[in-house]
Amino acid sequence: MGLLDLIRKMKQKNKKELRILLLGLDNAGKTTILKSLASEDISHVTPTQGFNIKSVQSQGILLNVWDIGGQKTIRSYWRNYFENTDVLIYVIDSADRARFEESGMQLAELLEEEKLIGTPVLIFANKQDLLHAAKSSELMEGLNLNSIKDRAWQIQMCSAISGEGLSNGMEWIRKNIKT
């Protein structure tokens, strides 16, 4: 092993790394957000059947992101991925008011999971590029976010299509999560 190999190994050991669980109802935009963060083409995103795993470098942190499908039939399997989660990113379609209650109930269930106790939560209020998207105050009330007292959390307005707001969410993770 040469000096260059030793330096590379040392760099890898010092690299900050987080395990992120990306959840939300189907059609919330989870995969589009993940592809946007990875600077990949978002023009042909299909519903996730199962899960996607992607490592994304963001602001000096290696994010190992587990994007799990949000269809009702898949949600019962989410708990298989809770172990060792550093950050939960929950995505809501802020233009789909008809599903706010369902999304809020799903988030509340996640926050009660034993393996996620104390896990910081970043809530991406996606699809802000749509004219009828709900604003943060409406989402905070609809999802009962002010009741979250046992962990760090942030709601971040965003658009997975334009990328607006995504870097702000990653900055919140960088500032608030110990690596």
Cα angle 148, 33, 139 (rounded to 5 degrees) comes to: 35
Active site members: 71
Q: Is residue 103 part of a domain?
A: yes
47-60, pLDDT tens digit by residue? Answer: 777 787 888 887 77
Q: Is residue 8 part of a domain?
A: no
Q: Is residue 138 part of a domain?
A: yes
Q: How confident is the model at residue 109 (pLDDT cuts 50, 70, 90)?
A: very high
Cα separation, 54 vs 62, whole angstroms? 10
Q: Is residue 3 part of a domain?
A: no
The single residue listed with the structure tokens 């919330």 is: 28
Q: What's the number of domains the chain is made of?
A: 1
Q: Is residue 6 part of a domain?
A: no
45-97, pLDDT tens digit by residue? Answer: 877 777 878 888 877 778 888 888 889 988 998 999 999 999 999 999 999 99
Residues flagged as binding site for Mg(2+): 31, 48
CB burial of 33-70 (b: ≥16 within 10 Å; e: otherwise) equals bbbbbbeeebeebeebeebbebebebeebebebbbbbb
Q: For strand 51-58 and strand 61-68, is the pairing parallel, antiparallel, or unpaired?
A: antiparallel
**Whole-model pTM?**
0.88
Question: CATH code at 48?
Answer: 3.40.50.300
**Structure tokens that stand for 175 in this block:** 């500032």
Residues flagged as binding site: 24-31, 48, 70, 126-129
162: containing domain: 14-176
Q: Is residue 128 part of a domain?
A: yes
Q: Is residue 1 part of a domain?
A: no
| 3-class SS of residue 26 | coil
